[in-house]
Amino acid sequence: MTRPPSDIPAAGDGAGSPALTPAAGPTPAAEPIPAAGLPPAVELRGITKRFPGTLANDAVDLTVRRGEIHALMGENGAGKSTLMSVLYGMERPDAGSIRIDGVEVSFGSPSAAMAAGLGMVHQSFKLFDSLTVAENVVYRAEPRRFGLVDRAAARRRVRELGAEHGLVVDPDARVGDLPVGLRQRVEILKLLHRGARTLILDEPTAVLTPAEADALFVVLRSLTARGRTVILVTHKLREVLEGSDNVTVLRDGRVVARLRTADTSGAGIAAAMTGRDVELDRVHPPGTPGDVVLAVEGLRTAGVHDVGLAVRAGEIVGIAGVAGNGQSELVEALAGLRPATAGRVGLRGEDITHASATERRAKGLAYVPEDRHAVGTAPAASVADNLAMGHHRTSLSSRHGLLPPSAVRSHARELVDRFGIKASTPDVPATALSGGNLQKLLIGRELAHDAPLLLVEQPTRGVDIGAIQAIHDELIAYRDAGHAVLLVSAELSEIRGLADRILVMYEGRVTASYDRSDADEATLGLAMAGGAAAPRADTPDPDDTPDTDGD
């Protein structure tokens, strides 16, 4: 690769007002000018993609220079994923052209795109959990001996690539056993093994801690320094501002802005994405804590060791931590979906340690789970049926357990209106909703319980800025109504913006606790990476029984 890396996010020349540029005309002002003689790594012209009822991409132009990190931003449904699917050969565009390194191409399949040097890391990882890292990396590009997979060569390859790019992973580990951050390394190794020169990453940091995200950007930088190109699809302004060279913003399938990162600010990008002014990083006024609602003492379950915490009425307690450090297990144990092996859980003074999920709900607990597709909803069921869940035994049904269909439907209409869920009728299946709307459905349903205690996991993962703010407002309103909220989020800004107190979980224990005012990102980030952990015993806890729910 001959071209030197592009200018790293050095201070631009006085980034004053956001350089908003309407995407009219063939050569908008902020269009990065390709270095003389070298064609752009990727050049999309007039890409149009129509789905039944939706114009997902409307004559989109996108130019990505070799060696840059190019951010692609936009709200949910703006057309980012669609555009990348078109580029990557997964969807055929209705109109438009694609050039890779100046050569016009037309990909019929991802393999064709891969052969042209593209590689994509999807938002939901595309990995084989039961296979090893090495097998995942070489899949479909296997080193062979006599027609058999040459496993030694595969391992060697993983080690070499890892060493070269700072992506160290054990080639023999089963991918299913790896934490998310390492899985992402495997995804990137996969692309590098295939010789990808342009990497597309769709929301790569959605599930990472700041530390992991920072590590990822170091890797991405080292890749671009070696002449590779990165297209980054994301909702996170911070990353874009710190990590990218140029930004393209989509709204409603159209390019609304092309910006040099150095020349812009977060507010500018946000305004371009939403089409209105957005107040970023709002810090909500603190709550006024009352009586203890949730009291946890010495709780143990698989993956959770000796956790104690308390949440009071009128406060939000945030749990920060890298995914896989026991937060999900803790919340599941609190919700009654996982048996506690020791300790005590009290809800409004009542011992609920061994109560079933239904009993806990009856006693005043509502719960927004992390995975809205697999756990939080039944995608094939109607919106009305999805909204009824949990209410079907209480407000909607009569004493005798009758559940009149009319009650279910009118309940649904009420919530659809109250929470602004976009659904044509309550009878459409939940699959028809976008990610953000599905999340609203979920949060609306749980808030409607008016339960004294709300457990919320990752309430805004993969949701756009507009919806994030609406959801945050709802949570604050809920707190201010005198309810207790336990919030689990991998998003530090979210935790810091909402929580009155912040706990950090590391390896199944609560290792640190901060008041909102003491918790800056650096401190929290360090604690999440184990910096605040007490020295860990080398032997696993004796009472740490293996989980028996056999999932």
Ligand X SMILES: Nc1ncnc2c1ncn2[C@@H]1O[C@H](COP(=O)(O)OP(=O)(O)OP(=O)(O)O)[C@@H](O)[C@H]1O
Binding track over 410-439 against other proteins, x by CB under 8 A: x--xx--xxxx---xx-x-x----------
In angstroms, rounded to a whole number, what is the distance separating the alpha carbons of residues 125 and 130?
Answer: 14
CA distance 256 to 93: 20
> Where does this chain touch Mg ion (CB under 5 A) — which range of 73-81, 112-120, 340-348, 508-516?
73-81
Instruction: Return the number of other C-beta atoms located less than 10 Å from residue 247's C-beta.
Output: 26
Q: Segment 461-490, which members bind Mg ion (CB under 5 A)?
A: 462
Residue numbers 50-89 binding ligand X by CB under 6 A = 51, 54, 56, 74, 76-82
Q: If binding is defined by CB under 6 A, does position 48 make contact with ligand X?
A: no
**In contact, 124 and 183? CB cutoff 8 Å:** no
Minimum distance from residue 109 beta carbon to other proteins (Å): 6
Q: How many Cα atoms occupy the beta-carbon half-sphere of 49 within 13 Å?
A: 26
* 301 binds Mg ion, rule: CB under 5 A: no
Q: How far apart are CA 17 and CA 265, in angstroms?
A: 8
State the binding partner of 382 from ligand X, Mg ion, other proteins, none, CB within 5 to 8 A by kind. other proteins
CB atoms within 10 A of CB 52: 4
Where are the strands (E) in 160-224, listed by range?
A: 198-202
Please state, in angstroms and as integers, the Cα–Cα distance from residue 214 to each residue in 67, 365, 481, following that order: 19, 36, 37
Which of these ranges, 351-359, 398-406, 409-417, 457-465, lies near Mg ion under the rule CB under 5 A? 457-465
Alpha carbon distance 273, 291 (integer Å): 41
Residue 401: exposure state from Cβ atoms within 10 A (0-12, 13-18, ≥19): exposed
Binding mask 82-121 for other proteins (x = CB under 8 A): --------x------------------xxx--x-----x-
Residue count of the chain: 551
Kindly tell me which of 75 and 135 has the beta carbon lying closer to ligand X. Answer: 75
Interacting residues with other proteins between 316 and 335 (CB under 8 A) = 324, 335
- Phi/psi for 335 (5° steps) reads -80, -10
End-to-end, the C-alpha distance of the chain in Å comes to 47
Q: Which is nearer to other proteins, 424 or 517 (CB)?
A: 424
148 binds, among Mg ion, other proteins, ligand X, none (CB under 5 to 8 A by kind): other proteins
CA 327 to each of CA 6, 72, 458, 476: distance values in angstroms, whole numbers, following the listed order: 40, 31, 11, 22
Residue 380 or 477 with smaller CB distance to ligand X: 380
297 Cβ contact partners less than 8 Å away, ≥ 6 residues apart: 308, 343, 344, 345, 346
* Other C-beta atoms lying within 10 Å of the C-beta of residue 3: 14
Q: In a 3-state reduction of DSSP, which class is residue 293?
A: strand
Q: Which residue is nearest to ligand X (CB)?
A: 435
Tokens read off for 300: 């143990």
Please list every residue from 414 through 443 that binds ligand X, using CB under 6 A: 434-435
Site mask, ligand X, residues 389-418, x = CB under 6 A?
A: ------------------------------
Minimum distance from residue 275 beta carbon to ligand X (Å): 15
Q: Does 374 bind other proteins (CB under 8 A)?
A: yes
Q: Residue count at the site for ligand X (CB under 6 A)?
A: 16
Residue 282 touches other proteins, criterion: CB under 8 A: no
Quick check: 139 binds other proteins (CB under 8 A)?
yes
Out of 369, 390, 462, 508, the residue judged to bind ligand X by CB under 6 A: 462
- Name which of 434 and 513 has its Cβ closer to ligand X: 434
With CB under 5 to 8 Å by kind, the binding choice for 274 among ligand X, other proteins, Mg ion, none is none
Which residues within the stretch 106-125 sit at the binding site for ligand X (CB under 6 A)?
Answer: 123
Residue with tokens 């997902």: 56
